[in-house]
Chain A
């Protein structure tokens, strides 16, 4: 498996724990702390998978997601939305803009790992 998983969140603590979790499970990661930085990294060097927060400064998660889906080079990258927005409507909207999986915080480590491995398995 080549390439990295991009973690996008404005919350450093989340970034740190998830990065550790993925590293322990054998995944390489990259991080971005807002939507703008994320888009730069995605379009610069498309990752294998994106774990995306929604509520972020500058460009939010929905916008990132829509931009990824609109670009032919990146539109097939699995996007896991990992967000504190837990209402049905948020979830519905997330899926609508193109999220592959919508996961609410707080999340279960094992579930996240399972989903990631499943998604990466699929794309492979």
Chain B
């Protein structure tokens, strides 16, 4: 048996020369004696000449199928047992199967690495027949036993070899089967059971058990080392044939049994009869009944995962070395399969944990997503409602005609909710039966109106009572025969006051949703608000008109009789109607004094009314401040002297010019100065002055008198309020309107009357007027009319106006309506001309624009010329006191002369 020292010979049957040469080079390099052939027939010849130790055969050959070559080789006595390595470019299961069938021991998929080729070769050499023979050489005892056994049985040598081959082949097949199934199992317990069963079967044992450490901690997995699992004793996982149930799951006691010995020593334990084994003497559970025991560690290198223990009772075959070898191979396979499975489990667990986390997160995200979506819905709804309300507001905010507001509201309702038509009924004096959207006139509309008219004759007017009658009629349900319609009656209350009732309809098919209901309620309320405002405006307009009529009538009617009385009294007093005695004279004087007072009172009241109604008309012109103040002082000279007061005129700066209504400002200064005289004791110092402050001229009237208590400072402007005079007995002679008028006149100039006063120290009234230094006011009297022309657009208006007024005015601007406002007032004029179309545009834009125009006109001195005018416009503007109407004049120059504006 000295084959051991011979070089192993390998025959390579490979058609492809480069591959063949490569293999030869690899193997020669590794110390094998290698030869190669390209064809099967050459191979057979080579084998016949010198049978090799290993044959490497390609599956595909030119002259013969590789499998057939293999099959054929097995029939030659010299190569029947020679390990064959099949090489194939495919390597599918079918080929592997076939390779095994024809007796190839190994299968290598092309292309292969050098390492893997050499490994295969080594494996084949070690587990093949040579390995068996080698091992028997190394183990002298066994070799001896073996030879003895052979000699004893007198078995022919060829028979021995056949048996050996059969045994080896059986082992190979077992291991091959095992490896085929091991990696398909993913359950550790199933794996262990499978291994145990196969082990028992492979070595023909009756009882067996597997112990393993319970878990592999994944954190240990990276830091491979010999101690990594040694802290844990393995526990019994599966068992068969032993009464082991009570041990299941328990840790292995190290010193109690063969398994513990194996675990501790990391060596296999083979005992033909454990009851006679010395090693077993130390086992705690000794004495064992007589049995053969084989235990191997489940290990690789220094890592150990557990132990496989097999036992056969006496009477059955004892375990031998080859059993041990096979079981070791099993254990090695199990080691990797276990690690694999545990790794996979760990991965799976991690995966599950991750999946669970992901699911949790997903749930949270879903939840918040649904919240967001709900919020979005709400937001969207609110936005929609808001946009509807805004649309309504935009549409009607500038309107003041209830009917127009209603039509706008209907238009929006129709657009937003598909409302067909509606009626709104407003109670009280301004009762309307408003008609719905006529363009969407439907059966509903006709029915509704018919119903309404039936119940409430239009000319009777509508009251709350008969509106209720009407709505009762409406709410009977099937509101018309031909078409299924639904309608809603919505009474609107504002501050608990019934404002209007609102009924609308639309096809019944379209059910009202909650959202729509809330929208319509909101809408109705808004509508009510605007409607209320519009009605209020109408009422105010009427009142305003009545008031201005009263002023106009009172002005004339009061003055006329007063004139007769005063004049006649004067005739008496002057003794033009004959001499009077002293007593008569005294009473006539008394009469005259009181008539004069009455005349002043009437004049004040009318002035005040005019200021209050905004009908005050200013003649704004450039005036010398010094002249103005000296005039005031001259007029009041007598009063100063009577009271022994000192007057100080204090004009700071030269040639101060202001732009104002001379009479009005004189009246203001006289009122303030007269107050200073009348409300203080004799010998008061009174100052009248003016100075330039920025672009304005500030006027003031100051005294060092008794002052006005703070508590009274607000009240002094009230109508008919009289401050308690400091002069004993006499009382003040005023009407109590003086300061109210003064304040009104100052404000009519676009200024503000300011008061500073301290009791015991004195009082200072002041106000600012526009300085007239600005070059744009260079126009002289009667030619100072600067002009603002207002049309819908500047272009539309400009040319005509410019042409007809050319050369008549110093400066002129034509503006479109959008420029109404401060900018124009600041930069231009005192006189406003509005073309009819422009004015109607203003009126149509509603109250806000009218107010703007009014303030513009007001600032311009109260002059508004309207060229031609429609009844509609007249009705609206006249009561507001801002209109001087020149009807049907086409010639602008004449129009201007009519209103007293001299032109050139």
Decide if A14 touches B564 in the complex (CB within 8 Å).
yes
**Pair A20/B577 contact, Cβ less than 8 Å:** yes
- Chain B contacts for A18, CB-based, 8 A: 567
Docked-complex contact A88 and B576, CB < 8 angstroms:
no
Q: Which residue of A lies closest to B563 (CB)?
A: A105
**Main secondary structure on B side of the interface with A:** helix
Q: From B557, B571, B595, name the one whose CB has the most chain A CB atoms within 10 angstroms.
A: B571
Residue on A nearest B560 in the bound complex, by CB: A84
Classify chain B: how many residues form its interface, as a range.
20 to 34
Q: How far is the CA of A105 from the CA of B564 in the complex (A)?
A: 9
A-chain residues with CB within 8 Å of residue B555 when the two chains form the complex: 84-87
Binary flags per residue of B863-904, CB closer than 8 Å to A gives 1, else 0: 000000000000000000000000000000000010110100
Q: How many Å from the CB of A82 to the closest CB on chain B?
A: 8
- Name the B residues within 8 Å of A55 (CB-CB): 556
B contacts, CB < 8 Å to A = 555-557, 559-568, 570-571, 574, 576-577, 595, 599, 603, 606, 610, 617-619, 661, 663, 862, 897, 899-900, 902
A105 touches B562 (CB 8 A): yes
Is the pair B566, A87 in contact by a Cβ cutoff of 8 Å?
A: no
- Whole-angstrom CA separation of A89 from B559 in the bound complex: 17
Question: B902–A13 contact, CB under 8 A?
Answer: no
With a cutoff of 8 Å between Cβ atoms, the chain B residues found around residue A11 in the complex are: 560, 563-564
Q: Is the pair B574, A109 in contact by a Cβ cutoff of 8 Å?
A: yes
Q: Considering the complex, which residues of chain A in the window 84-105 have a beta carbon less than 8 Å from any beta carbon of chain B?
A: 84-89, 92-93, 96, 104-105
Known: A93-B900, A96-B902, A109-B571. A21 touches B566 (CB 8 A): no
The distance from the CB of A66 to the nearest CB of chain B, in whole angstroms, is 10
A17-B571, A86-B555 given as contacts; is B563 within 8 A of A24 (CB)?
A: no
State in angstroms the CA–CA spacing of A21 and B599 once bound together: 20
Provided the pairs A21-B571, A106-B599 are in contact, do residues A84 and B559 lie with their beta carbons within 8 angstroms?
A: yes
Closest residue of A by beta carbon distance from B561 = A13
Q: Which residue among B563, B566, B900, B902 has the maximum number of chain A CB atoms within 10 Å of its CB?
A: B563
Given A88-B663, A92-B619 in contact, is the A106-B559 Cβ separation under 8 Å?
A: yes
Least CB distance from A118 to B in Å reads 19
Q: CB-CB < 8 A to A87: which residues of B?
A: 555, 610, 617
Q: A45 to nearest B CB, angstroms?
A: 26
Provided the pairs A11-B560, A106-B559 are in contact, do residues A86 and B603 lie with their beta carbons within 8 angstroms? yes
For A, the interface residue count at a CB cutoff of 8 angstroms equals 26
Write the nearest CB–CB distance from B565 to chain A, whole angstroms.
Answer: 8
Residue in A14, A85, A88 whose CB lies within 8 Å of B567? A14
What residues on B are CB-neighbors of A24 within 8 Å?
Answer: 571, 576-577
CA distance A11 to B563 in the complex (A): 10
**Which A residues are CB-close (under 8 A) to B571?**
17, 20-21, 24, 109
**B576: chain A residues within 8 A (beta carbon):** 20-21, 24
A55-B556, A84-B559, A92-B900 known; A17 and B663 CB under 8 Å? no
- Given A82-B563, A84-B557, A88-B663, 9 other A-B contacts at CB below 8 A? A14-B560, A14-B564, A17-B571, A24-B571, A89-B862, A107-B563, A107-B567, A109-B567, A109-B574
Give A51 Cβ to nearest chain B Cβ, in Å: 12
**Bound complex: CA of A108 vs CA of B569, how far in Å?**
10
Over the window 26-63 of chain A, the binary record of Cβ atoms lying under 8 Å from chain B Cβ atoms (1 yes, 0 no) is: 00000000000000000000000000000100000000
A109 closest partner in B (C-beta)? B570
Given A13-B564, A86-B603, A88-B617: A105 touches B900 (CB 8 Å cut-off) = no
Q: Which of B562, B564, B603 has the most CB of A within 10 A?
A: B564
When chains A and B are docked, how far (Å) is the Cα of A11 from the Cα of B576? Answer: 22
Could you tell me the distance between the alpha carbons of A96 and B577 in the complex, rounded to whole angstroms?
37
User: How many angstroms between the C-alpha atoms of A102 and B448 in the bound complex?
Assistant: 63
Q: Are A14 and B570 in contact (CB under 8 A)?
A: no
CA A92 to CA B570, docked complex, whole Å: 28
Which residues of B sit under 8 angstroms from A13, Cβ to Cβ? 561, 564, 568
Taking a contact as CB atoms closer than 8 A, the residue among A84, A89, A109 that contacts B900 in the complex is A89
Are A84 and B563 closer than 8 Å at their CB atoms?
A: yes
- Shortest Cβ distance from B781 into chain A, in angstroms? 11
A20 to B661, alpha carbons, bound, how many Å?
Answer: 37
Assembly CA distance A13 to B610 (angstroms): 28
With A21-B567, A106-B599, A107-B567 known as contacts, the answer to whether A88 contacts B619 (CB < 8 A) is yes
A84 nearest in chain B by CB position: B559
**For residues 104 through 123 of chain A, which have their beta carbon under 8 Å from a beta carbon of chain B?**
104-110
Closest to B556 in A: A84
